[in-house]
Structure 1
Amino acid sequence: MTERDLEGWTLVFDLDGTLVDSAPDLIGTLNRLLVEEGLPPVEMEAAQTLIGSGARALLVYGFEAAGGDMERARSEALFERFLTDYRAHIVDGTRAYEGVEETLDRLSARGARLVVATNKRTDLSELLMQKLELASRFAAVVGPERVSARKPSGAHLTEAVQIVGGDPARAIMVGDAAPDADAARDAGLPCILTTFGYTPVPVEQLGADVLIDTFEDVEEAVDAIVSSFYVRRAMGV
Protein backbone atom coordinates (compact mmCIF):
# COMPACT_ATOMS: atom_id res chain seq x y z
CA MET A 1 0.00 0.00 0.00
CA THR A 2 1.35 3.42 -1.01
CA GLU A 3 2.16 5.71 1.91
CA ARG A 4 0.17 8.94 1.67
CA ASP A 5 3.09 11.06 2.78
CA LEU A 6 2.11 14.01 0.55
CA GLU A 7 -1.29 14.43 2.17
CA GLY A 8 -1.91 18.15 2.73
CA TRP A 9 0.39 19.26 -0.11
CA THR A 10 -0.83 20.91 -3.32
CA LEU A 11 1.19 20.74 -6.51
CA VAL A 12 0.46 23.52 -9.00
CA PHE A 13 1.34 22.77 -12.63
CA ASP A 14 1.71 25.03 -15.62
CA LEU A 15 0.32 23.47 -18.82
CA ASP A 16 2.20 24.37 -22.02
CA GLY A 17 5.87 23.44 -21.82
CA THR A 18 5.39 21.65 -18.49
CA LEU A 19 2.71 18.97 -18.89
CA VAL A 20 2.31 19.08 -22.67
CA ASP A 21 4.31 19.91 -25.78
CA SER A 22 1.74 22.09 -27.52
CA ALA A 23 4.07 24.02 -29.84
CA PRO A 24 3.16 22.03 -32.99
CA ASP A 25 -0.50 23.03 -32.83
CA LEU A 26 -0.12 26.60 -31.56
CA ILE A 27 2.46 27.42 -34.22
CA GLY A 28 0.53 25.39 -36.76
CA THR A 29 -2.45 27.70 -36.21
CA LEU A 30 -0.21 30.77 -36.42
CA ASN A 31 1.25 29.61 -39.71
CA ARG A 32 -2.14 28.81 -41.27
CA LEU A 33 -3.31 32.32 -40.44
CA LEU A 34 -0.11 33.87 -41.82
CA VAL A 35 -0.49 31.99 -45.11
CA GLU A 36 -4.15 33.01 -45.34
CA GLU A 37 -2.98 36.61 -44.93
CA GLY A 38 -0.46 36.20 -47.74
CA LEU A 39 2.54 36.07 -45.39
CA PRO A 40 5.29 33.45 -45.01
CA PRO A 41 5.13 30.98 -42.09
CA VAL A 42 7.52 31.17 -39.16
CA GLU A 43 10.02 28.56 -38.05
CA MET A 44 8.92 26.37 -35.13
CA GLU A 45 12.13 26.89 -33.15
CA ALA A 46 11.99 30.67 -33.46
CA ALA A 47 8.38 30.99 -32.29
CA GLN A 48 8.02 28.34 -29.60
CA THR A 49 9.71 30.38 -26.85
CA LEU A 50 6.79 32.84 -27.09
CA ILE A 51 4.13 30.26 -26.31
CA GLY A 52 4.02 31.17 -22.64
CA SER A 53 3.16 34.75 -23.62
CA GLY A 54 -0.10 33.75 -25.31
CA ALA A 55 -1.77 33.79 -28.72
CA ARG A 56 -1.67 37.58 -29.11
CA ALA A 57 2.12 37.61 -28.69
CA LEU A 58 2.45 34.83 -31.27
CA LEU A 59 0.37 36.78 -33.77
CA VAL A 60 2.40 39.95 -33.24
CA TYR A 61 5.65 38.01 -33.62
CA GLY A 62 4.49 36.27 -36.79
CA PHE A 63 3.31 39.45 -38.48
CA GLU A 64 6.40 41.39 -37.41
CA ALA A 65 8.74 38.67 -38.68
CA ALA A 66 6.92 38.62 -42.02
CA GLY A 67 6.71 42.40 -42.36
CA GLY A 68 2.93 42.32 -42.06
CA ASP A 69 0.42 44.94 -40.91
CA MET A 70 0.87 45.25 -37.13
CA GLU A 71 -2.56 46.81 -36.65
CA ARG A 72 -4.00 43.71 -38.30
CA ALA A 73 -1.88 41.49 -36.05
CA ARG A 74 -3.42 43.09 -32.97
CA SER A 75 -7.00 43.03 -34.23
CA GLU A 76 -9.70 41.24 -32.29
CA ALA A 77 -10.99 39.60 -35.47
CA LEU A 78 -7.66 37.90 -36.15
CA PHE A 79 -7.36 36.83 -32.52
CA GLU A 80 -10.81 35.19 -32.72
CA ARG A 81 -9.79 33.42 -35.94
CA PHE A 82 -6.71 32.14 -34.13
CA LEU A 83 -8.81 30.72 -31.29
CA THR A 84 -11.29 29.09 -33.68
CA ASP A 85 -8.56 27.42 -35.72
CA TYR A 86 -6.60 26.35 -32.64
CA ARG A 87 -9.67 24.78 -31.07
CA ALA A 88 -10.20 22.71 -34.23
CA HIS A 89 -6.58 21.49 -34.26
CA ILE A 90 -5.82 21.46 -30.53
CA VAL A 91 -4.41 17.92 -30.37
CA ASP A 92 -3.27 17.33 -33.96
CA GLY A 93 0.33 17.25 -32.79
CA THR A 94 0.17 18.12 -29.08
CA ARG A 95 1.21 15.36 -26.69
CA ALA A 96 1.85 15.00 -22.98
CA TYR A 97 5.55 14.80 -22.19
CA GLU A 98 6.92 11.34 -21.51
CA GLY A 99 6.19 10.14 -17.99
CA VAL A 100 3.48 12.71 -17.22
CA GLU A 101 0.62 10.28 -16.63
CA GLU A 102 2.63 7.85 -14.51
CA THR A 103 4.23 10.59 -12.41
CA LEU A 104 0.92 12.35 -11.75
CA ASP A 105 -0.66 9.05 -10.74
CA ARG A 106 2.14 8.33 -8.27
CA LEU A 107 1.90 11.80 -6.73
CA SER A 108 -1.87 11.47 -6.39
CA ALA A 109 -1.54 8.03 -4.82
CA ARG A 110 0.78 9.60 -2.23
CA GLY A 111 -1.95 12.09 -1.29
CA ALA A 112 -0.91 15.20 -3.22
CA ARG A 113 -3.65 17.48 -4.52
CA LEU A 114 -2.98 18.47 -8.15
CA VAL A 115 -4.13 21.67 -9.88
CA VAL A 116 -3.27 23.40 -13.17
CA ALA A 117 -2.60 27.16 -13.18
CA THR A 118 -2.20 28.34 -16.76
CA ASN A 119 -2.38 31.62 -18.66
CA LYS A 120 -4.18 29.73 -21.45
CA ARG A 121 -7.95 30.22 -21.36
CA THR A 122 -9.64 27.71 -19.08
CA ASP A 123 -12.01 26.38 -21.75
CA LEU A 124 -9.16 25.67 -24.17
CA SER A 125 -7.03 24.17 -21.40
CA GLU A 126 -9.84 21.88 -20.28
CA LEU A 127 -10.56 20.80 -23.86
CA LEU A 128 -6.89 20.01 -24.45
CA MET A 129 -6.56 18.05 -21.23
CA GLN A 130 -9.77 16.11 -21.84
CA LYS A 131 -8.62 15.08 -25.30
CA LEU A 132 -5.25 13.94 -23.89
CA GLU A 133 -7.03 12.15 -20.99
CA LEU A 134 -5.26 14.26 -18.37
CA ALA A 135 -8.21 16.22 -16.95
CA SER A 136 -9.35 13.57 -14.48
CA ARG A 137 -5.98 13.67 -12.73
CA PHE A 138 -6.49 17.27 -11.55
CA ALA A 139 -8.80 18.78 -8.97
CA ALA A 140 -9.22 21.87 -11.18
CA VAL A 141 -7.88 23.75 -14.19
CA VAL A 142 -7.49 27.43 -13.32
CA GLY A 143 -7.05 29.75 -16.26
CA PRO A 144 -6.63 33.53 -16.01
CA GLU A 145 -10.35 34.32 -15.99
CA ARG A 146 -10.86 32.28 -12.80
CA VAL A 147 -8.48 34.38 -10.67
CA SER A 148 -7.97 38.03 -9.76
CA ALA A 149 -4.61 38.26 -11.58
CA ARG A 150 -2.75 36.00 -13.99
CA LYS A 151 0.85 34.82 -13.78
CA PRO A 152 3.37 36.33 -13.10
CA SER A 153 1.19 37.48 -10.21
CA GLY A 154 1.39 35.16 -7.23
CA ALA A 155 -2.37 35.59 -6.82
CA HIS A 156 -2.88 33.15 -9.69
CA LEU A 157 -1.13 30.41 -7.73
CA THR A 158 -2.49 31.11 -4.27
CA GLU A 159 -6.05 31.39 -5.56
CA ALA A 160 -5.67 28.18 -7.60
CA VAL A 161 -4.51 26.37 -4.46
CA GLN A 162 -7.43 27.78 -2.48
CA ILE A 163 -9.94 26.83 -5.21
CA VAL A 164 -9.05 23.16 -4.70
CA GLY A 165 -9.07 23.46 -0.89
CA GLY A 166 -5.31 23.49 -0.46
CA ASP A 167 -3.00 25.47 1.82
CA PRO A 168 -0.64 27.92 0.04
CA ALA A 169 1.88 27.32 2.86
CA ARG A 170 2.17 23.73 1.60
CA ALA A 171 2.17 24.23 -2.15
CA ILE A 172 4.80 23.83 -4.85
CA MET A 173 4.85 25.34 -8.34
CA VAL A 174 6.00 23.27 -11.34
CA GLY A 175 6.52 25.27 -14.53
CA ASP A 176 8.90 26.06 -17.36
CA ALA A 177 9.28 29.83 -17.81
CA ALA A 178 9.60 33.24 -16.18
CA PRO A 179 5.86 33.74 -15.50
CA ASP A 180 5.89 30.53 -13.42
CA ALA A 181 9.07 31.40 -11.54
CA ASP A 182 7.97 34.99 -10.92
CA ALA A 183 4.51 33.93 -9.75
CA ALA A 184 6.02 31.36 -7.38
CA ARG A 185 8.39 33.97 -5.97
CA ASP A 186 5.55 36.46 -5.55
CA ALA A 187 3.41 33.85 -3.77
CA GLY A 188 6.26 32.55 -1.63
CA LEU A 189 6.07 29.06 -3.16
CA PRO A 190 9.02 26.77 -3.93
CA CYS A 191 9.48 26.41 -7.68
CA ILE A 192 10.47 23.48 -9.90
CA LEU A 193 11.21 24.35 -13.53
CA THR A 194 11.60 22.06 -16.54
CA THR A 195 14.56 22.45 -18.87
CA PHE A 196 12.51 21.17 -21.84
CA GLY A 197 9.79 23.85 -21.93
CA TYR A 198 9.33 27.20 -23.66
CA THR A 199 11.36 30.07 -22.33
CA PRO A 200 13.18 32.88 -24.18
CA VAL A 201 15.37 33.35 -21.09
CA PRO A 202 17.75 30.49 -20.17
CA VAL A 203 15.95 28.50 -17.50
CA GLU A 204 19.08 28.50 -15.34
CA GLN A 205 18.65 32.27 -14.90
CA LEU A 206 15.08 32.12 -13.57
CA GLY A 207 15.85 31.30 -9.94
CA ALA A 208 14.13 27.94 -9.58
CA ASP A 209 14.62 25.88 -6.43
CA VAL A 210 15.08 22.77 -8.58
CA LEU A 211 15.59 22.21 -12.33
CA ILE A 212 14.41 18.96 -13.90
CA ASP A 213 15.43 17.46 -17.25
CA THR A 214 12.54 14.96 -17.54
CA PHE A 215 9.03 14.98 -16.13
CA GLU A 216 9.77 11.84 -14.14
CA ASP A 217 12.16 13.97 -12.07
CA VAL A 218 9.22 15.94 -10.61
CA GLU A 219 8.63 13.37 -7.89
CA GLU A 220 12.21 13.46 -6.61
CA ALA A 221 12.23 17.27 -6.73
CA VAL A 222 8.97 17.42 -4.74
CA ASP A 223 10.40 15.01 -2.16
CA ALA A 224 13.48 17.19 -1.70
CA ILE A 225 11.39 20.34 -1.20
CA VAL A 226 8.98 18.66 1.20
CA SER A 227 11.85 17.16 3.23
CA SER A 228 13.50 20.57 3.48
CA PHE A 229 10.19 22.07 4.66
CA TYR A 230 9.92 19.61 7.55
CA VAL A 231 13.58 20.01 8.48
CA ARG A 232 13.18 23.81 8.67
CA ARG A 233 10.02 23.46 10.71
CA ALA A 234 11.73 21.08 13.14
CA MET A 235 14.53 23.60 13.53
CA GLY A 236 12.05 26.43 14.08
CA VAL A 237 13.25 28.27 10.97
Structure 2
Amino acid sequence: MTDRDLEGWTIAFDLDGTLVDSAPDLVGTLNRLLVEEGLPPVPMSAAQTLIGSGARALLVHGFEAAGAPVERAQSEELFERFLVDYAAHIADGSREFDGVVETLERLTERGAILVVATNKRSDLSELLLDKLGLTRHFAAIVGPDRVSARKPSGAHLKEAVVKGGGDPERAIMVGDAAPDAEAARDAGMPCILTTFGYTPVPVDTLGGDVLIDAFEDVEEAIDGVLSDFYVMRALKF
Protein backbone atom coordinates (compact mmCIF):
# COMPACT_ATOMS: atom_id res chain seq x y z
CA MET A 1 0.00 0.00 0.00
CA THR A 2 1.35 3.44 -0.95
CA ASP A 3 2.21 5.76 1.92
CA ARG A 4 -0.07 8.84 1.61
CA ASP A 5 2.69 11.13 2.82
CA LEU A 6 1.68 14.01 0.53
CA GLU A 7 -1.80 14.47 1.99
CA GLY A 8 -2.37 18.14 2.75
CA TRP A 9 -0.02 19.26 -0.04
CA THR A 10 -0.94 20.71 -3.42
CA ILE A 11 1.30 20.62 -6.47
CA ALA A 12 0.53 23.38 -9.00
CA PHE A 13 1.78 22.77 -12.53
CA ASP A 14 2.28 25.15 -15.40
CA LEU A 15 1.00 23.69 -18.69
CA ASP A 16 3.02 24.65 -21.80
CA GLY A 17 6.65 23.61 -21.46
CA THR A 18 6.04 21.84 -18.15
CA LEU A 19 3.35 19.20 -18.62
CA VAL A 20 2.96 19.38 -22.38
CA ASP A 21 5.25 20.01 -25.34
CA SER A 22 2.73 22.24 -27.13
CA ALA A 23 5.17 24.09 -29.38
CA PRO A 24 4.38 22.07 -32.54
CA ASP A 25 0.75 23.18 -32.63
CA LEU A 26 1.24 26.75 -31.43
CA VAL A 27 3.96 27.39 -34.00
CA GLY A 28 1.93 25.44 -36.56
CA THR A 29 -0.97 27.84 -36.12
CA LEU A 30 1.37 30.82 -36.31
CA ASN A 31 2.86 29.59 -39.57
CA ARG A 32 -0.49 28.85 -41.17
CA LEU A 33 -1.60 32.42 -40.43
CA LEU A 34 1.67 33.87 -41.70
CA VAL A 35 1.30 32.00 -45.00
CA GLU A 36 -2.30 33.20 -45.30
CA GLU A 37 -0.98 36.74 -44.84
CA GLY A 38 1.57 36.22 -47.60
CA LEU A 39 4.51 35.98 -45.19
CA PRO A 40 7.14 33.26 -44.76
CA PRO A 41 6.81 30.75 -41.90
CA VAL A 42 9.20 30.88 -38.96
CA PRO A 43 11.35 27.96 -37.79
CA MET A 44 10.26 26.19 -34.64
CA SER A 45 13.45 27.14 -32.80
CA ALA A 46 12.90 30.83 -33.43
CA ALA A 47 9.40 30.96 -31.94
CA GLN A 48 9.50 28.26 -29.26
CA THR A 49 10.86 30.46 -26.49
CA LEU A 50 8.02 32.97 -26.98
CA ILE A 51 5.27 30.48 -26.21
CA GLY A 52 5.03 31.50 -22.57
CA SER A 53 4.31 35.06 -23.66
CA GLY A 54 1.13 34.12 -25.51
CA ALA A 55 -0.36 34.21 -29.00
CA ARG A 56 0.02 37.95 -29.47
CA ALA A 57 3.77 37.77 -28.89
CA LEU A 58 4.03 34.90 -31.38
CA LEU A 59 2.18 36.89 -34.02
CA VAL A 60 4.34 39.97 -33.50
CA HIS A 61 7.48 37.84 -33.75
CA GLY A 62 6.29 36.29 -37.01
CA PHE A 63 5.60 39.66 -38.58
CA GLU A 64 8.86 41.15 -37.31
CA ALA A 65 10.83 38.20 -38.68
CA ALA A 66 9.29 38.86 -42.10
CA GLY A 67 9.93 42.59 -41.91
CA ALA A 68 6.17 43.22 -42.06
CA PRO A 69 4.30 45.96 -40.13
CA VAL A 70 3.46 44.72 -36.64
CA GLU A 71 0.24 46.70 -36.54
CA ARG A 72 -1.43 43.89 -38.49
CA ALA A 73 -0.03 41.32 -36.06
CA GLN A 74 -1.66 43.23 -33.20
CA SER A 75 -5.13 43.30 -34.73
CA GLU A 76 -8.00 41.63 -32.89
CA GLU A 77 -9.18 39.97 -36.09
CA LEU A 78 -5.87 38.15 -36.56
CA PHE A 79 -5.75 37.22 -32.88
CA GLU A 80 -9.23 35.68 -33.09
CA ARG A 81 -8.21 33.76 -36.21
CA PHE A 82 -5.21 32.44 -34.30
CA LEU A 83 -7.44 31.15 -31.48
CA VAL A 84 -9.89 29.48 -33.85
CA ASP A 85 -7.13 27.75 -35.83
CA TYR A 86 -5.26 26.72 -32.69
CA ALA A 87 -8.37 25.19 -31.11
CA ALA A 88 -8.91 23.15 -34.27
CA HIS A 89 -5.32 21.81 -34.21
CA ILE A 90 -4.55 21.94 -30.49
CA ALA A 91 -3.40 18.33 -30.17
CA ASP A 92 -2.21 17.50 -33.67
CA GLY A 93 1.42 17.36 -32.57
CA SER A 94 1.34 18.34 -28.90
CA ARG A 95 2.15 15.59 -26.42
CA GLU A 96 2.75 15.30 -22.71
CA PHE A 97 6.41 15.04 -21.79
CA ASP A 98 7.80 11.59 -21.00
CA GLY A 99 6.92 10.48 -17.50
CA VAL A 100 4.01 12.88 -16.96
CA VAL A 101 1.23 10.31 -16.60
CA GLU A 102 3.22 7.98 -14.36
CA THR A 103 4.40 10.83 -12.14
CA LEU A 104 0.94 12.37 -11.76
CA GLU A 105 -0.49 8.98 -10.85
CA ARG A 106 2.16 8.41 -8.18
CA LEU A 107 1.67 11.87 -6.67
CA THR A 108 -2.07 11.29 -6.49
CA GLU A 109 -1.55 7.88 -4.88
CA ARG A 110 0.59 9.61 -2.26
CA GLY A 111 -2.29 11.95 -1.45
CA ALA A 112 -1.28 15.16 -3.23
CA ILE A 113 -3.84 17.49 -4.77
CA LEU A 114 -2.82 18.41 -8.32
CA VAL A 115 -3.85 21.61 -10.09
CA VAL A 116 -2.88 23.42 -13.29
CA ALA A 117 -2.03 27.13 -13.04
CA THR A 118 -1.42 28.43 -16.54
CA ASN A 119 -1.48 31.70 -18.45
CA LYS A 120 -3.19 29.82 -21.30
CA ARG A 121 -6.91 30.56 -21.47
CA SER A 122 -8.87 28.06 -19.37
CA ASP A 123 -11.05 26.70 -22.17
CA LEU A 124 -8.03 26.05 -24.37
CA SER A 125 -6.16 24.47 -21.45
CA GLU A 126 -9.08 22.14 -20.76
CA LEU A 127 -9.40 21.28 -24.44
CA LEU A 128 -5.71 20.39 -24.71
CA LEU A 129 -5.71 18.32 -21.53
CA ASP A 130 -8.94 16.58 -22.59
CA LYS A 131 -7.46 15.67 -25.97
CA LEU A 132 -4.40 14.20 -24.27
CA GLY A 133 -6.42 12.34 -21.63
CA LEU A 134 -4.83 14.26 -18.75
CA THR A 135 -7.81 16.13 -17.27
CA ARG A 136 -8.62 13.33 -14.83
CA HIS A 137 -5.46 14.01 -12.86
CA PHE A 138 -6.33 17.56 -11.80
CA ALA A 139 -8.66 18.95 -9.16
CA ALA A 140 -8.68 22.33 -10.94
CA ILE A 141 -7.47 23.76 -14.26
CA VAL A 142 -7.04 27.49 -13.78
CA GLY A 143 -6.21 29.92 -16.55
CA PRO A 144 -5.91 33.71 -16.12
CA ASP A 145 -9.63 34.18 -16.78
CA ARG A 146 -10.49 32.33 -13.56
CA VAL A 147 -8.32 34.30 -11.14
CA SER A 148 -7.91 37.90 -10.03
CA ALA A 149 -4.40 38.24 -11.53
CA ARG A 150 -2.30 36.16 -13.90
CA LYS A 151 1.23 34.90 -13.35
CA PRO A 152 3.70 36.36 -12.40
CA SER A 153 1.30 37.41 -9.65
CA GLY A 154 1.27 35.01 -6.74
CA ALA A 155 -2.50 35.49 -6.56
CA HIS A 156 -2.85 33.19 -9.57
CA LEU A 157 -1.15 30.32 -7.75
CA LYS A 158 -2.90 30.88 -4.43
CA GLU A 159 -6.33 31.04 -6.03
CA ALA A 160 -5.64 27.99 -8.21
CA VAL A 161 -4.64 25.99 -5.13
CA VAL A 162 -7.79 27.06 -3.27
CA LYS A 163 -9.96 26.17 -6.28
CA GLY A 164 -8.48 22.69 -6.13
CA GLY A 165 -9.34 22.39 -2.44
CA GLY A 166 -5.81 22.92 -1.18
CA ASP A 167 -3.96 25.20 1.22
CA PRO A 168 -1.62 27.82 -0.35
CA GLU A 169 0.61 27.49 2.72
CA ARG A 170 1.29 23.89 1.69
CA ALA A 171 1.81 24.13 -2.04
CA ILE A 172 4.66 23.74 -4.51
CA MET A 173 4.89 25.25 -8.01
CA VAL A 174 6.32 23.30 -10.95
CA GLY A 175 7.00 25.40 -14.04
CA ASP A 176 9.48 26.26 -16.75
CA ALA A 177 9.78 30.04 -17.08
CA ALA A 178 10.04 33.40 -15.34
CA PRO A 179 6.29 33.89 -14.73
CA ASP A 180 6.24 30.60 -12.82
CA ALA A 181 9.28 31.41 -10.71
CA GLU A 182 8.12 34.96 -10.00
CA ALA A 183 4.59 33.87 -9.12
CA ALA A 184 5.93 31.21 -6.74
CA ARG A 185 8.19 33.75 -5.09
CA ASP A 186 5.31 36.22 -4.76
CA ALA A 187 3.09 33.50 -3.27
CA GLY A 188 5.80 32.25 -0.90
CA MET A 189 5.81 28.81 -2.51
CA PRO A 190 8.82 26.61 -3.32
CA CYS A 191 9.43 26.38 -7.06
CA ILE A 192 10.67 23.49 -9.19
CA LEU A 193 11.69 24.48 -12.73
CA THR A 194 12.16 22.29 -15.79
CA THR A 195 15.19 22.76 -18.02
CA PHE A 196 13.30 21.44 -21.07
CA GLY A 197 10.66 24.17 -21.26
CA TYR A 198 10.27 27.38 -23.24
CA THR A 199 12.03 30.07 -21.23
CA PRO A 200 13.81 32.67 -23.43
CA VAL A 201 16.46 33.20 -20.73
CA PRO A 202 18.62 30.59 -19.00
CA VAL A 203 16.47 28.71 -16.52
CA ASP A 204 19.24 28.68 -13.93
CA THR A 205 18.96 32.48 -13.65
CA LEU A 206 15.29 32.42 -12.63
CA GLY A 207 15.72 31.60 -8.96
CA GLY A 208 13.98 28.23 -8.81
CA ASP A 209 14.59 26.11 -5.72
CA VAL A 210 15.25 22.97 -7.78
CA LEU A 211 15.99 22.42 -11.48
CA ILE A 212 14.99 19.17 -13.16
CA ASP A 213 16.10 17.81 -16.53
CA ALA A 214 13.23 15.35 -17.00
CA PHE A 215 9.66 15.15 -15.76
CA GLU A 216 10.47 11.84 -14.09
CA ASP A 217 12.56 13.90 -11.63
CA VAL A 218 9.54 15.85 -10.30
CA GLU A 219 8.76 13.40 -7.50
CA GLU A 220 12.32 13.36 -6.17
CA ALA A 221 12.45 17.16 -6.34
CA ILE A 222 9.21 17.42 -4.36
CA ASP A 223 10.59 15.06 -1.73
CA GLY A 224 13.67 17.24 -1.41
CA VAL A 225 11.61 20.41 -1.04
CA LEU A 226 9.44 18.80 1.65
CA SER A 227 12.48 17.48 3.50
CA ASP A 228 13.81 21.04 3.72
CA PHE A 229 10.35 22.29 4.79
CA TYR A 230 10.09 19.86 7.70
CA VAL A 231 13.68 20.45 8.78
CA MET A 232 13.11 24.20 8.89
CA ARG A 233 9.85 23.77 10.78
CA ALA A 234 11.57 21.53 13.35
CA LEU A 235 14.29 24.14 13.87
CA LYS A 236 11.67 26.71 14.83
CA PHE A 237 10.62 24.66 17.85
- Check whether TM > 0.5: yes
Aligned to 1:69: 69
Residue correspondence of structure 1 range 48-197 to structure 2 within 5 A: 48-197=48-197
Q: Unaligned 5+ residue runs, structure 2?
A: none
Query: Does residue 221 in structure 1 map to residue 193 in structure 2?
Result: no
* Amino acid corresponding to residue 81 of structure 1 in structure 2: R
Q: State TM-score, norm by structure 1.
A: 0.99
Hey, what's the Cα distance between the residues in 2 that align with 1:220 and 1:186?
24
Deviation by residue 1:109-154 (Cα, 9 ceiling, x = unmatched):
0000000000000000000000100000000100000000000011
Q: C-alpha distance in 2, partners of 1:63/1:54?
A: 15
SS state of the match for residue 114, structure 2? strand
Distance 2:227 2:5 in 1: 11
The CA distance in 2 between the partners of 1:233 and 1:187, in whole Å, is 18
> What's the CA shift string for 1:197-235, capped at 9, x where partnerless?
001010010010000000010000000111111111111
- Quick one: distance in 2 between partners of 1:69 and 1:121? 27
When the two structures are superposed, what TM-score results if normalisation uses the length of structure 2? 0.99
* Unmatched runs of 5 consecutive residues or more in structure 1: none
Partner SS state of residue 141, structure 2: strand
Structure 2 residue aligned with 1:16 = 16
**Matched residue type, 1:10:** T
Q: Name the Cα RMSD after superposition.
A: 0.7
Three-state SS of the structure 1 residue aligned to 2:211 is strand
Render the CA deviation track for 1:53-112: whole Å, top value 9, x for unaligned: 000110011111111121110000000000000001001100000000000000000000
Distance 1:71 1:125 in 2: 28
Q: How many positions carry a matched residue from both structures? A: 237
The one-letter code of the counterpart of 1:215 is F
Moved over 2 A (4+): none
Tell me the CA shift for residue 181 of structure 1: 0.4
Look up the equivalent residue of 2:229 and give its one-letter code.
F
Query: 1:164, 1:26 → 2: CA distance?
Result: 27
Specify the SS of the correspondent of 1:115. Answer: strand
Q: Which amino acid aligns with 1:138?
A: F
- For 1:232 and 1:168, the matched residues in 2 are separated by 18
Partner of 2:32: 32
Amino acid at match of 1:106: R
